[in-house]
Structure 1
Amino acid sequence: MDYRITSTYSRSKAVNYAIKHAKNPNPAYRYFPVVGDNGGDCTNFTSQCLFAGVAPMIFSGKNIWWYKNHGWSISWATAHSLYWYLKINAHDNLYGAKGREVSSSSLLEKGDIIFYRNQRGKITHSAMITSFKNGSPLISQHTPEVLNISYIKPWASKMYFMKISL
């Protein structure tokens, strides 16, 4: 794993990683299966994409986000925690990946993230934008492992469109 310090998010590196590993999970990382109606690998995969886009891991401080030796922070692997990690970093201008929520999918670019809220009001899924078709984002994700599908999920009660930066 590369622990570079940078000030620019590489959308192309994040997207290339997502495309390479959307259907074939990277064996260097633990895969989180669905157990009952819990779990899944979506946010672990989204975090891997962010890291591939040179987002630095944060091991200490106010807002942590990391994966090392098959251990991980909650914000690395849980959708609502990654959502809040990105928002807090943007709001407080903390070191690391930042997420700024925008009101429309038309404001998104490749390498941005969409978070999904379920009918019970919990953010339970995340996906990386890897392409566009007729101006509409296509996502790649885990759980299930898919590449360049429509971002619309009928089960979602709300979608959060997140612009990513460092």
Structure 2
Amino acid sequence: MGKNEQLVNFWLQEVEEQKEGNWLVERIAAHEKEGAKVAQIKGEGTILREEHDSEEDIITYSLCATFLVHKQHGTYHEEEVHTHTAYMRNGQIVRHEQKEEAVQPHVHGLVGYESNDENFDRQFNYDRRAAVQYAERWWNDYNPAYKKFEVDCTNYISQCLHAGGAPMRGEPDRSSGWWYNGDSWSYSFTVANALRWYLSGSKQGLQGKEVADARLLRPGDVICYDFEGDGNFNHNTIVVARDPQGEPLVNAHTANSRMRNWAYRDSPAYTENVVYKFFQIGV
């Protein structure tokens, strides 16, 4: 049996036996807990790297899973990509690891502040459709016009906002405003905690109006996550749709996701102390 067949059989067995800790199994369980049913799963794997160490073949690969989700009277597709490493000996998988979802660590001093510019237009017309179209185009890819970061969630969200017409300002001060010029960028453009505070504090151009309920968000709006509840926000997503119950579905980078339930309860980063911030954009 070849390596590809071994990997396929591994995943079929994991799902069939409902292995604890497997993200596919946990995603199915999370949907069932929310009253939904995963009617079908389609997986597509891509081998990224093959190595040989002593007696083992080490295969690093990505798995893109597409879930067909039924909820109430509606149906939608959710997609997510994770990177894995399989260790094979004599044609058999002897160990398997998933790359953990990365979140941004707490870095002091990386909170963008407001820069007042009397000549800067205080209002802009946010094109939600353009922001969502960008989010859909690049959810599992990287626009070469921008630098790719290991923890890329905020960089991706900022690109979506800019595609929707959000104006940049504050250059060249990295602690000021919200901007990107190819060679440098503001902290608020790429750091989750900095974008969270920028959205709530900005009075010109890109602004966020905080609301109390995720169901008040529309496609193009932003959710910020403090998974540990310690005051440091370490992830951001963009709303791209709503499920039949009106709950937001989001796209994100780092663990590249499309049409994922906004609450992230099945994420390894999730804790009971999680704090969310819901921002309406361009209002």
TM-score range, shorter chain: 0.7 to 0.9
Partner in structure 1 of residue 170 of structure 2: 59
Partner residue of 1:129 out of 239, 244, 254: 239
Partner in structure 1 of residue 160 of structure 2: 49
Query: CA–CA distance in 2 between the matches of 1:69 and 1:123?
Result: 25
Structure 2 residue 229 is matched with structure 1 residue 112:
no
Deviation of 1:129 after TM superposition, in Å, equals 0.3
**Fraction of identical pairs, as percent:** 35
Q: Which protein has the larger Cα radius of gyration, Structure 1 or Structure 2? A: 2
Matched position secondary structure for 1:27 = coil
Q: Deviations over 1:59-81 (max 9, x none)?
A: 25894111112311101001110
Q: How does 1:18-57 map to 2 (within 5 A)?
A: 18-33=135-150, 40-57=151-168
Amino acid at match of 1:18: A
Higher relative contact order (CA 8 A, sep 6+): 1
Partner in structure 2 of residue 100 of structure 1: 209
Question: In 2, are the aligned partners of 1:22 and 1:140 still within 8 Å (CA)?
Answer: yes
Query: CA–CA distance in 1 between the matches of 2:176 and 2:200?
Result: 10
Partner in structure 1 of residue 185 of structure 2: 72
Partner in structure 2 of residue 36 of structure 1: none
Give the unaligned 5+ runs of structure 1: 34-39
Runs of 4+ off more than 6 Å = none
Question: In 2, are the aligned partners of 1:29 and 1:70 still within 8 Å (CA)?
Answer: no
Matched position secondary structure for 1:159 = strand
Query: CA–CA distance in 1 between the matches of 2:152 and 2:216?
Result: 26
Amino acid at match of 1:141: A
Amino acid at match of 1:86: L
Q: Deviations over 1:48-96 (max 9, x none)?
A: 000000000012589411111231110100111011111111xxxx221
Deviation of 1:120 after TM superposition, in Å, equals 5.1
The number of residue pairs the alignment matches comes to 152
Query: CA–CA distance in 2 between the matches of 1:7 and 1:27?
Result: 26
Deviation of 1:25 after TM superposition, in Å, equals 1.5
Question: In 2, are the aligned partners of 1:45 and 1:142 still within 8 Å (CA)?
Answer: yes
Partner in structure 1 of residue 125 of structure 2: 8
TM-score (normalised: structure 2) = 0.51
Matched position secondary structure for 2:140 = coil
Matched position secondary structure for 2:147 = coil
Give the unaligned 5+ runs of structure 2: 1-120
Matched position secondary structure for 1:64 = coil
Structure 2 residue 134 is matched with structure 1 residue 17:
yes
